[in-house]
Amino acid sequence: RWALCLCLCAALLPRPARGLTDRLYCGRRVCYEVLGVNRQASKAEIARAYRQLARQYHPDRYRGEPAGGEGSGAQAAHEKFLLIAAAYETLKDEETRKDYDYMLDHPEEYYRHYYHYYSRRLAPKVDVTIVILVTVCAISVFQFFSWWSSYNEAINYLASVPKYRIQATEIARQQGLLNKTKEKGKNRRSKEEIREEEEEIIKDIIKNKIDIKGGYQKPKIYDILLFQIILAPFYWCKYIVWYCWWIYCFTIKGQEYGVEEKLYIIRRYMKMSQSQFDSLEDHQKETFLERQLWIRENYEVYKREQEEELKKKMAMDPRWKRYRRWMKNEGPGRLTFIDD
């Protein structure tokens, strides 16, 4: 009975098969024996043995001729050559050779050998750091040119608005940029060229005189992803220093808030980014300060007032009236033959 139990346990345990399987390294053959070297062989000896065997068993040398004791024909030579190549790929790398030697010495760790073998074979050939760096650079370049495109679209739009175009034209005339004498002779340009030059002058004045904020503002090199990642440690240190200063001045010492600090608290209550808050008009910010919205209770009152005002606007909007009428009479879940 004890012998039967031992046999069953032996049958249930994974069979190491001396650490050699058909799907790992050289299969059932020992890689050292395939190349005809011992386990203490150096890299030079392994490379020399591989070159000799590769020349001997290369399939191109056996076009229909016997493959020297390892079978017959080019097929046997091809299989032998693949086995030699697999043995060399296993033993030429120090890390792979170390894993293979460990498998020979510890055949019972069956699943560990599978993990190390396939983790190395399926590992990416290119360094992940390089892939991440190239991806970040590509995204940064796309960001920069996309922002420049949006900025140019905003300038072109402002140049087409009569209000800004007239002002820019008057400034250009005052600066003498449009009052040039007519050109004569060979230097004379066409009307189209003069019109294009005047258009560029007007756009340059708009760029200098109008501070565009928000999503269409002039792009800066430090705003792209690459520089944001590089400068992230600096920003974190700057934020920690600023936060400690805030706690010390306004929590410990109890100082009164300045204008910048009040606007910062208001922006946090409104859950707006810095660019969104900067895009607001100056009179709006003055209204925030007059109503003391940095105080939480005052901001809650202001927020309720804005919500009520929005509801009134929506109630008076004809489109919302039609929508509510449609939801009441028909709704999205009803069948109707009305085409409208």
Whether residues 201 and 279 share a domain: the answer is no
User: 102: which 2 tokens?
Assistant: 């460990």
Whether residues 39 and 84 share a domain: the answer is yes
Looking at the structure of the chain, the number of domains it has is: 3
229 within domain boundaries? no
pLDDT at 79: 82
User: 294: which 2 tokens?
Assistant: 């940095």
pLDDT at 68: 47
Whether residues 94 and 159 share a domain: the answer is no
Q: How many helices (H) and strands (E) does the chain have?
A: 16, 0
Residue 250 DSSP class: I
CB atoms within 10 A of CB 282: 7
pLDDT at 191: 77
| Residue 64 lies in domain | 19-122
249 within domain boundaries? no
34 within domain boundaries? yes
Whether residues 47 and 71 share a domain: the answer is yes
pTM, entire model? 0.47
272 within domain boundaries? yes
pLDDT at 322: 74
Nearest-angstrom CA–CA distance, 220 and 275: 13
Nearest-angstrom CA–CA distance, 338 and 326: 12
**Cβ neighbours for 17, distance < 8 A, ≥ 6 positions apart:** 107
Domain boundary among 77, 95, 122: 122
Nearest-angstrom CA–CA distance, 19 and 30: 10
Among residues 29, 38, 16, 154, which one has the least CA distance to residue 82?
Answer: 29
pLDDT at 69: 46
Domain boundary among 201, 219, 237: 219
pLDDT at 111: 74
Whether residues 42 and 116 share a domain: the answer is yes
Q: What is the pLDDT along the chain (340 residues), one digit of tens a residue?
A: 444 444 434 433 434 444 466 677 787 888 898 888 888 888 888 889 988 888 887 777 655 454 444 445 667 778 888 888 888 888 888 888 888 888 888 877 777 777 777 777 766 666 678 888 899 999 999 988 888 888 888 888 888 888 888 888 888 888 777 755 555 556 676 778 778 888 888 888 888 877 666 667 777 888 888 888 998 999 899 999 999 999 999 889 888 899 999 999 999 998 888 777 877 888 888 999 999 999 999 999 999 998 888 888 877 777 777 766 766 665 555 444 444 4
Whole-angstrom CA distances from 320 to 118, 147, 308, 314, 329 are 62, 35, 16, 6, 14
3-state secondary structure of 254: coil
